[in-house]
Amino acid sequence: MNNAAPAGMTEPVTARAGDRFARSKPPYRLALTVQYAAVNDGLPTRSQLRTWVKAALQRDADVTVRLVDAEEARTLNRQYRRGDRATNVLSFAYPETDPFSGDIVLCVPVIEREAREQRKNPQAHYAHLVVHGMLHLQGYDHEAAANARDMEVLETEIVTGLGYADPYKSKDDG
């Protein structure tokens, strides 16, 4: 992983993926807003979302998590990412703010479908995607293979530290 932070962002507190749970981290301040714009019986609670966001938090932050339907996710993806489909998670960082802020948009029908198809616990899949989105907000990416490996290791450490299975292993992997 390139340890240099993107322009306008401070360097992540955790420089290497393997160090995440090896050190105790200071208590970062989190202001969390949760917006439910989709309906489903199995949506994560505000408390669960807070736990997952805090697990990946590496600095003080104001974060909004919005759970949306496929139409809104597709519109946002098309408008801001040039993708013409609903995707499971979108992250929008606002690094010039103090404290750091950003939005995580979770597409409920896509996440629910993926969980069924991948035979994953839906709450575990939501947790993984919140962690994934939080890492994106803080400057991590998976565009280059080395960055993708580092991000995957860090995600796995955080998600398994929360008590869920490795998100990159399917039930068929054993």
Residues in contact with 151: Cβ distance below 8 Å, sequence separation at least 6, in sequence order: 1, 17, 132, 135, 140, 141, 142
Q: pLDDT class for 136, splitting at 50, 70, 90? A: very high
pLDDT per residue as tens digits for the range 20-67: 444 467 789 999 999 999 988 899 999 999 999 999 999 999 999 999
Q: From CA 132, how far away is CA 126, in angstroms rounded?
A: 10
CATH number of 26-165: 3.40.390.30
Its pTM stands at: 0.83
pLDDT tens digit sequence for 84-122: 999 999 999 998 999 999 999 999 999 999 999 999 999
Instruction: Show me where the domains of the chain are located.
Output: 26-165
Give me the pLDDT at residue 128, please.
98
